[in-house]
Amino acid sequence: MVFIKSAFRVACAVAIAMALYVGLTFITVLTVGHTDSGEKAEAVVVMGAAQYDGTPSPLLESRLQHALDIYREGRVSFIAVTGGKMPGDRFTEAATSRRWLTDRGVPTTAIFGEDKGRSTWESLDYLAAVLQDRGVSKVLVSTDHWHMQRCVLSLRELGIQVEPSATTTSPLQGIKRAWGKYAKETAGVAIGRIIGFDRLLSITG
């Protein structure tokens, strides 16, 4: 009987600790996603999103526009695009992003990136090697509020100094419209912090 009571107390303590951890993780996802220190960096990383035969989706376009604004403000010298393509696609997310930027006056010499990644970790893993080859040590990240914390932590795990700068024009703006995204990201960040984001991808695919 004493053993059962002790086990029950331990189980309750673990459950409470887990609930607090997940709650605190949600707060960090929310806080980091709404943080922009206004700092400068060498490049801004545009996280890939869907494209439709060479045309950015509204989600991707909002990230590109924010990166373009940062570039025009003089906060960065380069824009790094990311994202591969799905089976059947003619264009990668990176190529679509590159063309969108050059159509708006960004010189090709100011754009680089990776075009193989099919997940956040894959894209950042490929990009980290490119950044290191180019001697880039600090970047900003342009993505949605709910996606920011995972990107920041992943880049730091890959040895890149990073500061968040989320888009404010996303079609999924606000917790009410993106509550499912916030829930998924909270779970992903909570697990990734413990086991590593590279291992998280190997488990979730």
CATH number at residue 58: 3.40.50.620
Q: How confident is the model at residue 203 (pLDDT cuts 50, 70, 90)?
A: low
How is residue 135 written in tokens? 């001697």
Tokens linked to 60? 């991707």
Count of other CB atoms within 10 angstroms of residue 177: 11
Mean pLDDT, the chain, rounded, equals 90
Cα 43 to Cα 188: distance, rounded to the nearest angstrom: 26
Count structural domains, the chain: 1
Confidence of residue 196 (pLDDT cuts 50, 70, 90): confident
Task: Write the burial class of residue 196 (CB in 10 Å: 0-12 exposed, 13-18 middle, 19+ buried).
Answer: middle
Lowest mean pLDDT among 13-17, 21-25, 45-49: 13-17
pTM of the prediction? 0.89
d(CA 80, CA 49): 14
84-138 pLDDT tens trace = 998 888 999 999 999 999 999 999 999 999 999 999 999 999 999 999 999 999 9
DSSP notation for 79-108 = EEE-----TT-SS-HHHHHHHHHHTTT--G
Integer Cα distance of 30 and 182 in angstroms = 8
Q: In whole angstroms, give the CA distance from residue 136 to residue 154.
A: 16
Higher-confidence residue of 3 and 154: namely 154
Closest C-alpha among 186, 185, 163, 169 to residue 60: 169
Which domain does 175 fall in, by range?
Answer: 2-204
Whole-number Å distance between alpha carbons of 130 and 117: 13
